[in-house]
Structure 1
C-alpha cells in the first residue's frame, strides 16, 4: 500500500482489518488477517479468496496484491585476488556500519562473529535481539530476529535466529566477518578468512528455513531492518521466475529501503548461463553476478592401469586403501531397474550388493546420495556439463569431462578386475580468472530492458566462510562432517562486494 500515512494517530492494523471487514464479515476478517507492515511502509498479509483479492485490489489506496510464495537461497583468497590486502588502513567509521543480513540466520559461536575489541552498538541502533536458551547477541551481532509466518517450526529448523543450514553464516561472514587466521575446510582453502568490512556490526533477520523463504517474512524483515537503523541490507534469495516490480516483495522492500537511504544488495541468481535469467533486477537495488577467482579445486582419479584423470570437486575424503573395485552404474542395476536408469546413478537404481565398497562411475552429475545409499566408497561422475566450479559430495568424488569419463568407461569394460582410487582435492591456479561463472544469472533485464543488470560481478566461486555446526558440509544424508568453515559457490557469496565498497570508499 506504499508509504505510511503521515497522520500521528494512524493505526495500520486497524486500517487493514477495516479493509478486510469491507469484503467479509468481522469474525472472518479477524481470522483472515495475519500481519501488518507498519514501521517502514504500509501493507498487510491476509488469507483471501480470489474474489476477495479482486475487491481489495480495486481499492484506491492499494498499489498491488500478490500471493506469498517461497523464494530459495541463491574467503581466504577472494579479497587478496581483488587487490584488497589485510594490512589496509581501517577507520573507526567501519565500526558504526550495521549490515542487515536477511538469510537463514547465523552461528553466533563462530570465530568470525567474535566481539573481542568491540565497544557497544552505535547509538543509531534501534533493533533488538530475540535471545533464547540457545542464542545470544554480542557487540558484533548486535541484533537478531526470526520470522516464520506459516505455523509450527519442526526439525531440522530451530525456533531462534540460529542458523541450522549454514548459508546465513556463510554470507554473513563473507560480508562482515572478523579476521580469522587458519580457517579452512578440513585443510582445503587454508588461510585468513575475513569479510569485506570486518569491523562492522551485523543485524540478523532470519527469513529462510529448510523449505524456503516466505514472501510475507521477507517483507516483515525489510520493515524491521529499515526501522532498526541498518546501513545496508544484504539479501541473497530469489524466486523461480522474474516478477513485475509491484508483485515482487524483494523489489518492494528494496524500494522502501532505498527511500530511507539504505542500499539493498542482491544476488543476481544461480540460473545461468541462459540469457534473461537474472531474478533480482530492480533499478533501485544492486544486483551482483558471480565470477571465479584465481583458485580452483582439482581431484585426481587413479586407475588400476596406471592412468590418471583430473576432475573437479571439493573432496576432503582420504581413501585408506590404495585401490578399490571400480564398477559402471549401467552394469549394476538394482532389481526392478535396468542399465538405462542405473547408468545415471539415480536414487534406488543401483544394486547395493554389487556397489557396496566400490567406486562407481556414473553418466551424470548428481549429489552423491544414491551412491551413499548403496554403500559406495566413492564415485566418479562424468558429463558434458560446466566444470568451472566445484561441488562437495557426501563421499569421495570427482567430476570428469565426458572425454575423460569415456576413457574410464573403456577401462572398466576391457579389464577383468578394474580398480581405482580418488585422491583428496588439491588447490590449483585458475589462470583465466576473473570470468563470470556458468551458473551465474545473466541479463538482459526482463522487465526494463534499457536498464542494464547485473550491475557488477564479484568472487562467488569456491569461497571459504563460516558455517553452522547444526549442519554438515553438504547437509545431505550420509554426511557426518561437522565443520566451522565450509567451501561453497553462488551469487550469494559475490554480492558481498558491496561491503568491500563501503569499507574502502
Structure 2
C-alpha cells in the first residue's frame, strides 16, 4: 500500500541516586543554567510513571516550554503537572491492564527519577539502606512519559509509535531502557529505526546495552546513531553477614544467589547434618579501591551486525541504584510480599541508561544547538578510562570508559556524524535503496552512491574498532574529522598509546584551529600483527593542554572456526 515503509513482525522487548551522581563527581551544587534546564524535555519510553512521587512534584515549576507540542493523554486516574508535562500510553491488544500511563511495575518511575527527578532529601530504603538525598542529573528539566511496556513486555509497534509521538511532541532527549533478547539487524530493530528518526530531528537516543553479559556478542544496542550504555558499580555496596551455627561469620559481599552460595560452601555444608545460620541486617559499605567495575550481567561486544563499530559506547552506574518507585509495584518476586515503598534499589543496564540520558540533557543545557552526535561525542571522549585488569573484557565491556558528566560540558573537540554519514555507512555494509527506506522512511529519496566503496571505518565515530582473522597482518585507515568547540585559537597535538602487536600513527599529528566550529580532518593508521591474544587496546588522545579528547581503539582477532572465541 502506498505510504507503507516496511512491515516486519512485532517482537516483544523487555525492560532492562543517593550515591551514583556523587560518585562521578557530579555533586548537588554543580554549575547549572536554570532557565535553559527547565526548557529541556526528556522523553521516557518505559513502563509509565508514578506522578505523585515527590521526585516529580512541580513545586516551583512554571508552565511547559513554548516548544512543547505534546498532550497529557495519561488515561485512567492519571494527571500531568508542570514537571510531568506529557503522557501517552500504547496498550497491547487483548490486555486486561488498565488504560493508563500510571506505572504498576516500577521500572519507568525508577529510570525517570534517575535522569530527571527532583532532589528529595533524607530518603532511604526502609529507613536503613542508601540514606541520603535522591536526585536526577537535571532536576529542573521536564518529563514526557510514553508507556509502551506492560506486564507482558513491550511490543515493537508500541515502541515505534512512542518514538513517533516523542519526536512530534518536541522532546530533546529520548531515554529507552529496553531491549530485545538478542541483537537484530538494523532494519528489523524497532529501537534502531525509532532512534534513526529521532536523530533526523536532532534528538539523541540513550539505550541500555542489555543484561545478557558476560557472553560475547551479547550487546543488543548496536546502532551507531544512538548511545549504548553498559552498567558498572559505584563505591557503595550493600552487604549481609551470615553467622553460622559454630559462630563463624561469612560476609556476603557482594550479594550472590543461593545457588552460588551452595556451590561455594557445599563441602562444609555437607559435613553438618543440621546446619544453622543467621542472616544479619543489611548494611552499607564503601569500596573506593575497586570501583567502577563493569558488572557481569552487562552485555558485551563485539557488535554482531557491524563488528567494526565498537559497542557498547560508554559505561555508567547501574548496580544497586536507588531511585523513585511505584508504591503499588512488586518489591520482590514473592506473591505474598505486599510491602509498599516509594524508593527502591535495583540493578541493570536499565539503570545505567538514564544516567547517560540525564548527562546528555545536562550537556544540552550548556549547548542547546549541539547535534545528537556532538553530545554523544562529548560524553564518550571525556569518559574516564577504566582499568583493564579489573575489566578483562576491556572496551567490549565499557566502550569509551566511565561517564564523567562535568567534563562532557567542555570536551574541546567533537566528532559529528549526520544522516548522510549514517546512510553511507549502511551502504558500506550492503544496504540497497529499498533497505535504506526501511530506516529513513518516506521523508526523502535515498539511494547509495553508484559503485559505493566506502568502509565502516569512514564513519566519523569517536571510537575505532578493527576485526582481524588470526593469521594475516592487516592495516586499516580511519578517516576522522573533529570540530573545535573549545577555544577559538588552539593547537591540538596527538598522543598515541599502543601495545607491541600494533603500530598506530596519526597524520597530521598536530591540528591548528583559528575559530570556533572550525573542522579539521586527520587519518589514523593501525597496523596489526598476528597475536596470541584475542584483542588488544590502543588509543589516540588530542590535547591542547586543557582538553584531552580520547578515542579508544580496539583490535580483535577472530578465529574462523570459532568466531565466539574472541572473548575467551
Which has a greater percent of strand? 2
Q: Secondary structure at 1:192's aligned position in 2?
A: strand
2:178 is aligned with 1:237: yes
Deviation readout 1:13-60 (Å, 9 max, x if unpaired):
xxx5xx5xxxxxxxxxxxxxxxxxxxxxx64xxxxxxxxxxxxxxxxx
Residue matched to 2:51: 108
What residue in structure 1 maps to residue 336 of structure 2?
478
Match of 2:204 among 245, 252, 263: 263
Does 2:13 match 1:71? yes
- Counterpart CA distance in 1 for 2:47 and 2:334 is 17
Q: Which residue of 2 aligns with 1:179?
A: 119
Deviation of 1:127 after TM superposition, in Å, equals 0.5
- Corresponding position of 1:211: 152
CA contact (8 A) 1:76 1:191 kept: yes
Residue 361 of structure 2 is aligned to residue 502 of structure 1: yes
Distance in 2 (CA, whole Å) between partners of 1:457 and 1:149 is 32
Which residue of the other structure, out of 67, 75, 81, is the alignment partner of 2:23?
A: 81
Task: State the structure with bigger RCO (CA 8 A, min sep 6), 1 or 2.
Answer: 1
Q: Determine the structure 2 residue equivalent to 1:158.
A: 98
Counterpart in the other structure of 2:272? 412
The whole-number CA distance in structure 2 between the counterparts of 1:88 and 1:139 is 23
Per the alignment, residue 507 of structure 2 pairs with none
Contact 2:76 2:99 in 1 (8 A): no
Please state how far the C-alpha of 1:132 moved relative to its aligned partner: 4.3
SS of equivalent residue, structure 2 residue 165: helix
- Aligned pairs for 1:132-151 within 5 A: 132-151=75-94
Residue 302 of structure 1, CA deviation:
1.1
Decide which of 109, 112, 119 is 1:169's aligned counterpart.
109
Runs of 4+ in 1 over 6 A off after TM superposition: none
TM-score with structure 2 setting the length: 0.61
Deviations 1:243-287 (A, max 9, x none): 111111110000000000000100000000011100111010010
Per-residue CA shift, 1:135-172, capped at 9, x if unaligned?
10000000000001413x32xx4320000000000000
Q: Greater CA deviation, 94-103 or 141-150?
A: 141-150
Structure 2 residue 66 is the aligned partner of structure 1 residue 123: yes
The one-character-per-residue Cα deviations of 1:427-457 (angstroms, maximum 9, x if unpaired) are 1122300111100001111111111111100
| 1:498 positional shift | 3.0
Aligned with 1:468: secondary structure? coil
- Alignment counterpart, residue 40 of structure 2, candidates 90, 97, 104: 97
1:402 equivalent in structure 2: 263
Q: CA deviation at 1:421?
A: 1.4
What is the root-mean-square deviation in Å for CA atoms of aligned residues? 1.7
Deviations for 1:201-245, whole angstroms, at most 9, x for unmatched residues?
000000000000000000000110000000011111111111111
Deviations 1:460-484 (A, max 9, x none): 0000001111113125312122100
- Kept after mapping to 1: 8 A contact 2:74/2:102: no
Q: Following the alignment from structure 1 to structure 2, what is the Cα–Cα distance between the partners of residues 267 and 472?
A: 22
Look up the SS of the partner of 2:290 in the other structure. Answer: coil
TM norm structure 1: 0.69
Q: Cα deviation per residue 1:355-408 (whole Å; 9 max; x = unaligned)?
A: xxxxxxxxx93xxxxxxxxxxxxxxx242xxxxxxxxxxxxxxxx37334543x
What are the within-5 Å matches in structure 2 for residues 230-379 of structure 1? 230-312=171-253, 365=257
Distance 1:237 1:218 in 2: 10
How many Å separate the matches in 2 of 1:480 and 1:469?
10
Instruction: Structure 2: give runs of 5+ residues left out of the alignment.
Output: 364-408, 410-568
Contact 2:174-2:357 within 8 A present in 1 as well:
no
Q: Give the conservation status (yes or no) of the 8 Å contact 1:311–1:401.
A: no
Give the match's secondary structure for 1:495.
helix
Alignment partner of 1:213: what SS? strand
Q: Which moved more, 1:233-242 or 1:103-112?
A: 233-242
**Is the contact made by 1:313 and 1:425 (CA closer than 8 Å) also made in structure 2?**
no
1:469 aligns with 2:321: no
Aligned residue in 2 for 1:449: 307
Shift of 1:87: 1.2
How far apart, in 2, do the equivalents of 1:382 and 1:132 lie?
43
Tell me what 2:168 maps to. Answer: 227
| Count of aligned pairs between the two proteins | 360
Change (3 A) 1:406 1:182: farther
Shift of 1:65: 2.8
- The answer as to whether partners of 2:75 and 2:101 remain within 8 angstroms in 1 is no
Corresponding position: 1:195 with 2:136: yes
Contact 2:210 2:219 in 1 (8 A): yes
